[in-house]
A and B are shown apart, each in its own frame.
Chain A
Amino acid sequence: MGIQTHFDKFHDRIKLGRETASYKKARERDDSIKKEVKSEFKDAGYPVVDDFIQGSLKTHTGIKPISRDHDIDRALVIDDETAPENPVTPKKTALDVLEDRGFKNAKIKKPCVTAYYASDNVHIDFIIYKRSGDEYYLAVGKKNSDEDNRQWSPADPHGLIKWINDDSLYDKEDAKDVLAQFRRLVRYLKRWRDVQFSEAVAAKVYSIGLTVMVKDELVSSFTAEGARQDLQALIKTVEAILDATYFDEEEPGRYRVQVYLPVEPKRDIFDGSSFDTGTQLYNKLKRLKEKLVEVEALSDERKQCEILNELFGDDFEVPPPNGDSKTEKAKYSSAGIVTASVGA
């Protein structure tokens, strides 16, 4: 059957898309809150001129959370001319709406306003921008931040999405397949992070950081016939990430991770990140690569899946022992007729 089929199954299980049922429910929540926030913004004199979903849903790299809630990144854009000087002001307006709806755990974080819906396992981040022409500025600051710690910081939310979704660097004819492999690899690594790190550390191994590293260092892999080889691609890509300049060994065995945003404000995604986060990420990536190489060398599919299950969690299923699944293994084509240019 081949290990790729198991990767495919794993991917199907972890993939979060617009059609995912639990996500749809989260979107319904998001829609209802968004409507109310927009109304309040309008009343406050800085109407929302645009809103969009950003984050992994937009870049097709979202995964279903294991124990955490669904994550929706909702961007709200107000016009520069109507935007208050204090970037925390509209964030407070959003917070008021959330609190009025009875969500006591809603709070203002530095880049966003966040709210949890425990009953639905939904977590929405409102990210507020002001727009001046084509330029965007992110509302940065906590509830009580003084002037030094709050600002409208230059940002490029659309540029980031565009950069992640960009396939112009790949061979034109292969671009679609390579981009799809990139997205699968990001999903694998995000699930690997959720399984391999404690919840606290996992929260600091930012998805956008993993995404940028994979995007930069992607080594795609396909068979000569064009079949995807995610295992080989993952091995080579992780290897390339480890060989790149993201990890700085500031002290023996202690690493600092630095990944810069490819768009404005081009800041270090892991700015302020601890040695512990960098070191764990480095060591665990290294181990991941070693285990994947081990998997590649094995010929027994079940043994391969056992290792992958240990790396990626139970969504990477281990098939039953040989002989139990012979009949279900037959994979017939779903096409009825396909034309081909052959003769003899």
Chain B
Amino acid sequence: MSSDLIQRSIAELGHDSWLTEGGSKIVVKFGAGGQKVTLSHTFPDELLCLPKFDLVSGHGLGKLAHVLTDGNSDGGRVCIGDDSSTAVNTDRPELAYQDAVREHVLLLTRLIEDPAYNREEQLREFEDHWQILCGKKTEELKELFVVWDGDRAESLQVRHPHRHPNSGMDLQKRPIALVGRSANDPRLLSVRLGADWGTRPVKGKAVAVRLIDLEPAPATQGDLLPWYFGAVRRADSTSRSELRRLHKKKSGEYWLVFSAPIPDGETLFAIHWYTRSRGALPASETEVEAGRWTATPYRVRSLSRGSLVPRGGGSLALTSKSVLLVGCGSVGSELAMQLISAGVGHLTISDPETLSEENLYRHALSVKDIGQLKTVALAGELALKHPWIEVKPLNNQLEQLRDPAVLQTFDLLVIAIGSSTVERVFAEYCRQERISVPVMNCWLEGYGIGGHAILTVPETKGCWHCAYVDPKTLTRGLVSNLNFLAPDQVVMRNHGGCGTQFLPYSGIAVGYSASIAADLAVRFLEGQVTNSSKVSWKGSDEEAKRASLAVTRRYRHFADSLRILPLHDDNCDLCGG
């Protein structure tokens, strides 16, 4: 990396620039808002990310968005983008520097010349600025876990950090606040267990407050008090009532958790008030001084559903959906995990089988669950992993669930039992009884050749039988026409007699099969798929060839892996032409 070459390429942009400190640093000057602005950059040993420049302090520019200050000056590192979303030309670093300087100048010029934009950007990055106030990223970092949706003001219960936290368990090392009604919510079992909530003492009085408007975060600790008293004046009416109630309760410490609007949504932050003596929550800077209160800003780590689900890639629209999953084998268990990950809020799982060691390598459950009912163990696993979900285990087989009163309570029924005979009987039951719940069947084939899912939405074109029309006879076939391995072949492997027969397929095949089924289910529940549909994934036929197995015509011609296709088959005698 030649610093001379870089300097020349930056000079081409028309800005003053020069090398200093023996060529290890470059300084760039440009004009914005009627004054000269100076940037500096120390060359790294190796260019591995966006070249980042510092805004040199002393310009009197005030607080600028995207400039990470130490709070005591108006200079600091300028943020022009995220390293993970940019690709830098390391072969031609001079070009990377040219582009980087161009971006810095553009951004700073706009921030300096357009105060409204600067304010909006400061609000957008409120959380970052607030975090700077909360301390550096060390064990002393001031953070508070909060379970509050931010939708309305209410009282909170805050627990002290655990006296003997398990190492690495932030939930135990930090204070944690739950809204009062969540303290016994079964959907928060995982949070309470993880935090060891029951053994931790209550820590002061607490209230969650909604602000109708927000000012950019204070630049320094010294600015915090005036900023705070300005902020609480912008609390909504319910919040003000909650605060008034809090003012009447004496305590040695108070927690105020705030929710406030920012350009991209909402932000959460907290302030902790503490005094050695007891007193009312201070309502002015004078009261702060008189009561010897200290105010400490806390970063909020939200465990609310509204933030966890979308941040984790789930859909909030699914949190109210109720799904019945029948079959908790390898595909079913993986599918359950994926449906919950997608945001499905209520899952009932049904399977009468217990986990055996033979299931382990392709099953979501672990060795400690051997001998347990798969549903019970899986419900436990899911509840431990994900807050905000409700998982109910049943021990019924599919045929035992033929009860409209049960079935009609669900938004979707998912069948992952891998038995076309029972599925046929059930499909016929649903058809004759006019069960209005959409049903999805999913299965995989052995030897890694593929897997399939079909979705039957009542009153739309396409039914379960459409996936079973025999392509040769055009009659209701006994095996699915989606299958990739030709029927009537010896496909089971046998280790030691009839009872040990098994279909060879890997955990990878399970993952793919569960994924296409989960994707179809989620798209349906979100309203993106409204008609009866089918989807398949196609794997290699190498293993099948080694086992001398023949594939179907569909396999040979199939080029629509993962694509959701209409289920309807013209030759289905039930659906009509």
Binding site for B on A (CB under 8 A): 1-5, 8, 171, 173-174, 177, 222-228, 299-301, 304, 329-335, 337-344
Contacts and interface: CB of A to CB of B under 8 A. Distances in A.
Interface of A is mostly: loop
Contact of A331 (B447, B475, B483, B490): B475
Contacts of B557: 224
B468 to A, nearest CB: 9
B388 to A, nearest CB: 27
A340 B480 contact: yes
Nearest to B557: A224
B505 interface: yes
23 contacts: A5-B474, A222-B471, A223-B570, A224-B554, A224-B560, A226-B481, A226-B552, A226-B553, A227-B472, A227-B571, A304-B577, A333-B478, A338-B478, A339-B491, A340-B445, A340-B480, A340-B485, A340-B491, A341-B449, A342-B480, A343-B444, A344-B330, A344-B444
* From A226, A332, A340, residue with most partner B Cβ within 10 Å: A340
B470 A330 contact: no
Given A173-B553, A226-B553, A333-B475, A344 B417 contact: yes
Interface centre among A2, A299, A300, A329 (most CB of B within 10 A): A2
A332 B490 CA distance: 24
A122 to B, nearest CB: 34
Interface centre among A173, A300, A331 (most CB of B within 10 A): A331
Nearest to A342: B443
B55 interface: no
Given A224-B560, A344-B327, A5 B553 contact: no
A314 to B, nearest CB: 21
B567 to A, nearest CB: 11
B487 A301 contact: no
Given A225-B481, A341-B485, A1 B553 contact: no
B476 A340 contact: no
A301 B472 CA distance: 20
Nearest to B330: A344
B279 interface: no
Interface string B477-505: 11111110101111100000000000101
B475 A334 contact: yes
A339 B483 CA distance: 12
B280 to A, nearest CB: 62
Contacts of A8: 474
A312 to B, nearest CB: 18
A301 B570 CA distance: 10
Contacts of B576: 1, 301
B571 A5 contact: yes
Contacts of B556: 171, 173-174
A339 B446 CA distance: 12
A182 B490 CA distance: 32
Contacts of A344: 327, 329-332, 416-418, 442-444, 513
B361 interface: no
A340 B442 contact: no
Contacts of A332: 475-476
Contacts of B442: 344
A331 B479 CA distance: 15
A335 B468 CA distance: 13
Nearest to B481: A225
Interface string B439-476: 00011111101000000000000000000011111111
Contact of A342 (B483, B549, B571, B573): B483
A4 B474 contact: yes
Contacts of A343: 329-331, 418, 443-446, 503, 505
Given A177-B553, A223-B569, A339 B577 contact: no
A226 B480 CA distance: 12
Contacts of A228: 471
